Chains A and B, each alone.
Chain A
Amino acid sequence: MKNPISGLNKIFDSRIRLGVMSVLIVNEEISFNDLKGMLEVTDGNLATHLVTLEENGFIKVHKGFIGRKTNTTYSITKLGEREFKDHVKALEGMIKGFR
């Protein structure tokens, strides 16, 4: 999954997935709609990326209700936090390498 040379995580190649992780690292829990508004993406697009992140164990999904409306919220897992931080470190390492 990780590029052995750069240490970058393939899953974070997508800007939207990287965006989701960036939001979740500073927010304990966030709803689908708030995430959608922040990343400025369509429902379907966001849902697909969220499934990928969930299947990899990077995020946790909580399904709840507000009245009768479903309210799905997301939070980051320990694994997701670690992988994200490693990815950021790898990016920083690359910048240093170029200089």
Chain B
Amino acid sequence: MDNPNEPIQALEEIKQMMDRSSRFVSLSGWSGIAAGICALLAAWLANKKFNEYAIGENEYEAKFNYTRDANLLQLDRELLILAIFTFMAAFFFAFLFTYLRGRKTGVPIWGFMARKVMFNVAVPMIVGGLLIWRITDFGLYGLVAPVCLLFYGLALINVSKFTLSEVRYLGYLQLLLGVINLWAIGYGLYFWAAGFGVLHILYGIVMWNKYERNEKAVA
């Protein structure tokens, strides 16, 4: 007990254990950047689809061969497939970069913290997904993007207690975009691209700069 370093070391270990067991801190900035790029690509593809559909509609009208509903259904299906692929790709890359970071720093991604994070994200996201499903059933397509942003923002705020506190600010920004979008119906794709694309990339860069830039690999 004569060693002055001992209590400092003990306190540090206590703090580290409390931190590690209550917060999932391994999320890599690259995960945000990758998810953002996926979102921007998807928004670009969706925009192309919309334009094709609009042109198609005019052509059909011109030929008096009006099959608007069938065409809309086709668009619906294509967008749904695009959305599913985007989600899977974003999730895959987010997982990959976080996994690689965990390997590099030697901090294992503990099962139960990851489970906690997933659960707290999943609840608002699944509810939001069901709501969007019903919204499209009623043909209120203009609400899809703001509802995506709002529920994703709520999911981030909800999960922020178990991860880095910066996630909360990302959540507030998503909410802000979602709320503005509620009064700018029709510009959903731009808001969606800004929230899921640009914000994710900015967040990823900030986080990488703050936490990973000087991170050393553990041999």
Contacts and interface: CB of A to CB of B under 8 A. Distances in A.
Instruction: Check if A and B associate.
Output: yes
Interface of A: 6, 8, 15, 18-19, 22-23, 25-27, 30-31, 34, 37-39, 88, 91-92, 94-95, 98
A70 to B, nearest CB: 17
Where chain B touches its partner, the secondary structure class is: helix
Among B10, B15, B18: residue with most chain A CB under 10 A? B10
B95 to A, nearest CB: 18
Interface in B1-18: 1, 4, 7-8, 10-11, 13-15, 17-18
Among B8, B13, B108, B112: residue with most chain A CB under 10 A? B112
B17 A92 contact: no
Contacts, number: 53
Contact of B110 (A15, A22, A38, A95): A38
A22 B13 contact: yes
A27 B11 contact: no
Given A6-B1, A18-B13, A22-B14, A31 B112 contact: yes
B111 interface: yes
